[in-house]
Structure 1
Amino acid sequence: MKAEVAVREDAELGEGPTWDTAGGRLLWVDILGRRVHTYEPASGRRSVLAVDQHIGAVKPRAGGGVVANLRDGIGLYSADGAFSWLRHDPVPGRRGNDAAVAPDGSLWAGTMRYDEEAGGGNLFRTAPDGATTTLLDKVTISNGVGWSPDHTLTYYIDTPTRRVDVLRVEDGHVVERREFATVEEGAGFPDGLAVDAEGCVWVALWDGGALRRYTPRGTLDRIIPLPVVRPTACAFGGPGLRDLYVTTARTGLREPEPDAGSLLVLPGIGEGLHATPFAG
């Protein structure tokens, strides 16, 4: 299957695609470009919201608007664009990165150092009222988070480890972390992920120019080459959640790539799971 360009864009660091079921649209961000993008496949309509700091991810809110994992903490945007802080926690040299909404409606949001210092990041859980607990500390580049269809397994990526891990969480705390799959040297680094209706885990490979699908047992069963070397994350969307959208980056490329920074799509490649909106 060949990827198509869904939205031609020149994002520096496109990231965090999420399907907004209520709005029938895809949300994603340009972290370094400080932009929130939306795209409605049915109509082709697009919108772009400029923000005043680097933004790692946005996710739909149950009452409308979005929750954002920003450089300085977790922010809320209402449907009319009004902004407020849910958790303001600026740390010099650190920013928000990928995030996901858990089945219980809480936000799991990662951080990383700008200099990518080892152990300089965290994975936090933020409740709808803003109460925050640390799930993992001393991670480096906190990236993809997702849940199995029955919600019993949590998948997590700290990119430099080259692993996709499974977390076991009890009473809001990670009590076990084990290896699920490993990306070998030379194949790129695991970045964002998406879980499909069969429980398979799709992983975007930064500097690998491909997507990989792993079975629920962690066996690699599919590799999809992409026309960019730096895909960042993926999410199912569109009618029946059967199209897989892929964000991409052009930052740091050694050679120009025509499709780098654009939003790609693999039509009809599988079936995704409905994303839970943030309950706050």
Structure 2
Amino acid sequence: MTAVEVAVPAHAALGEGPTWDTRAGRLIWVDILGSRVHTYDPASGRRTVMTTEQHVGAAKLRAGGGLVVNLRDGVGLYGPPTGAGGVTAAGAESATGAEGTAGAAEPGGAFRWLHREPVPGRRANDAAVAPDGSLWCGTMRYDEAPGGGTLTRIAPDGTVRPILDDVAVSNGTGWSPDGRRVYYVDSPTRRIDVFDLDDDQLPVDRRPFATVEDGFPDGLTVDAEGGVWVALWDGGAVRRYTPEGALDRVLDLPVRRPTACAFGGADLTDLYITTARTGLTAPHPMSGSLLVVPGVGKGLPQPAFAG
């Protein structure tokens, strides 16, 4: 069994989307069905929790401060924060130690929609920021119906460009270190696919990169060597694939439903893993917590949304 540690003990229904904030030295992650955005500073142990008004598929950094969030009805912007008094309409709280202890509002800031497109029965899912500062955001139907989800690119100026319009569960997205390829997961296909990027940074030539038989590929991250790490929903593991698509490493986990992974820590060598409890009749005690495997690899700094 991999030496897994609990970074943040929690009971998230559907933890997702870990992102390391290099400037602040903290991790940002969400509980989709709990409508919460969490932060965690491993150096101080400080934690914050912000509640959103809708299910939140992802929360990513903005270059000028604040967050861009993939919500049920579209993509919105928070902040930049205005300080402890700048509580959003959604509300916020902070915690050190026990979850839920009231404190300063962080992250905060006013909310506004960047792109609103509500579709009955559909919600946001995973999202990622491309090297050019655009946001690639996914959706899915609550019933996971095939063809009910999308993948959309939102440029920093708010221009919307559909990428895929016929996916089931849009999930992990990540770019190769040279920015010339993008990896993508539509979970029910049990594949990680790869695209080349054209001169306009749009994907072309979609093809299978790796196929998963035990569980379903979920969120992913790409390391400094170009290796692709993917969390396996119902697979109880995180796998690393070489840039050529060969299985290179398996991190076995005590939880059945890891959802996503990202490198963090001062030197980007610690792998943080979000997990879920939803749908489990007898979840492991760690299910829903934020996990970490220290010193397991070397990640890349994640770009911030330029809008």
TM interval, short-chain normalised: over 0.9
Other-structure match for 1:179: 208
Distance 1:279 1:161 in 2: 31
Letter of the 2:48 counterpart: S
- Quote the residue 1:21 is aligned against: 22
In structure 2, the residue corresponding to 1:241 is in which secondary structure?
coil
Which residue is equivalent to 1:74?
75
1:26 shift after superposition: 0.3
Q: What is aligned with 1:54?
A: 55
1:101 to 120, 129, 150: 129
* TM-score (normalised: structure 2): 0.89
Quote the offset at 1:23 in angstroms: 1.3
The 3-state SS of whatever aligns with 2:267 is: helix
Q: Which residue of 2 aligns with 1:168?
A: 196
Percent of matched pairs sharing the same residue: 68
Give, in whole Å, the separation in 1 of the partners of 2:158 and 2:294: 37
Which structure 1 segments of 5+ residues have no match? none
Q: In structure 2, what is the Cα distance between the partners aligned to 1:127 and 1:30?
A: 25
- Report the Cα distance in structure 1 between the residues aligned to 2:284 and 2:203, rounded to whole angstroms: 40
Matches of 1:63 and 1:249 in 2, distance apart?
31
Query: Which residue, 113, 116, 120 being the options, matches 2:141?
Result: 113
Equivalent residues in 2 for 1:146-225 (5 A)? 146-170=174-198, 171-184=200-213, 187-225=214-252
How far did 1:172 drift?
A: 4.8
Q: How does 1:2-13 map to 2 (within 5 A)?
A: 2-13=3-14
Give the AA of the match of 1:273.
L
1:173 is displaced (CA, Å) by 3.6
Corresponding letter in the other structure for 2:211? T
Number of residue equivalences: 278
SS in 2 for 1:36: strand
SS of the residue aligned with 1:160? helix
Match of 1:148, as an amino acid?
S
RMSD over equivalenced CA pairs, Å: 0.8
Residue 174 of structure 1 and its aligned partner are, at CA, apart by: 2.8
Preserved contact between residue 18 and residue 274 of structure 2 (Cα < 8 Å): yes
Residue aligning to 1:30: 31
Which of structure 1's runs of 4+ aligned residues deviate more than 4 A?
none
Q: Is the 8 Å Cα contact of residues 61 and 68 (structure 2) preserved in structure 1?
A: yes
Instruction: State the distance in 1 between where 2:14 and 2:233 align.
Output: 11
Q: Take 1:270 and 1:140, find their aligned partners in 2: how far apart are those partners?
A: 31
Deviation at 1:167, TM superposition (A): 1.2
* Higher radius of gyration, 1 or 2: 2
Distance 2:246 2:192 in 1: 12
1:64 aligns with 2:31: no
Are positions 1:272 and 2:299 aligned together?
Answer: yes
Aligned counterpart, 2:278: 251
Q: For residues 21-53 of structure 1, what are the alpha-carbon distances to aligned partners after superposition, in whole Å with 9 as ceiling and x for unaligned?
A: 111110000000000000011111000000111
Aligned partners of 1:136 and 1:174 also within 8 Å = no
| Runs of at least 5 residues in structure 2 that lack an aligned partner in the other structure | 83-107
